[in-house]
Chains A and B, each alone.
Chain A
Amino acid sequence: GDSVTQMEGPVTLSEEAFLTINCTYTATGYPSLFWYVQYPGEGLQLLLKATKADDKGSNKGFEATYRKETTSFHLEKGSVQVSDSAVYFCALSPEKLVFGKGTKLTVNP
């Protein structure tokens, strides 16, 4: 079945550091790919998405590119802030969302 594998956390960075969270997937067909973010004590929010190969999703300085050849959708941000501290989930769909296990990011001042 469909599955998502993302890098294990936790990840701890200093403010203004570069962030990469790796995500690879296994799926039949051509799924849509997503990154969701969960801030402490809250539900999940859609951060960005890509619906076909070579699409780049972006939002709030975060980016990820749908790479069919490597079945990857790595999340990147050039300069993280303390407010980016959260758990990040990679996921695929369309009919039902399949999640990776999440990566906890802590950004220190």
Chain B
Amino acid sequence: NAGVTQTPKFQVLKTGQSMTLQCAQDMNHEYMSWYRQDPGMGLRLIHYSVGAGITDQGEVPNGYNVSRSTTEDFPLRLLSAAPSQTSVYFCASSQTGEGGYTFGSGTRLTVV
């Protein structure tokens, strides 16, 4: 099993550019989430999904869009990148939430 796969691992964007961070899981998990990790801030939830076709906002959703057209994939779109979005992004998935989440290895994004 590959688990949770995030691509790319590293990315540099210019202010105003758009891009999509990819997240795929092969465990048939219903729950998927996106977090950003910033120094001293811990992990903050951006968006989450409890199943295909269902998404909801987390703590810091502004500037990000998601969709969940399949169980396996949960891409995160940055609409117009800003330096404040420089961060490490983690995707995670879980079958029910109660048993714990499996995390991807992260995408380190720098916006200049």
Contact = CB atoms under 8 A, between A and B. Distances in A.
B2 interface: no
Interface in A20-53: 32, 34, 36, 42-46, 49, 51
Size bracket of the B interface: 20 to 34
Contact of B45 (A36, A49, A97, A100): A97
A102 B42 CA distance: 6
Given A32-B97, A34-B100, A45-B103, A97 B42 contact: no
A43 B42 contact: no
Nearest to B105: A43
B20 to A, nearest CB: 20
Nearest to A48: B100
Given A43-B106, A93-B100, A99-B44, 10 more contacts: A34-B100, A36-B103, A43-B104, A51-B98, A94-B96, A95-B97, A96-B31, A96-B33, A99-B43, A101-B41
The 4 A-B pairs at the shortest CB distance, nearest first, are namely A94-B97, A101-B42, A44-B103, A94-B98
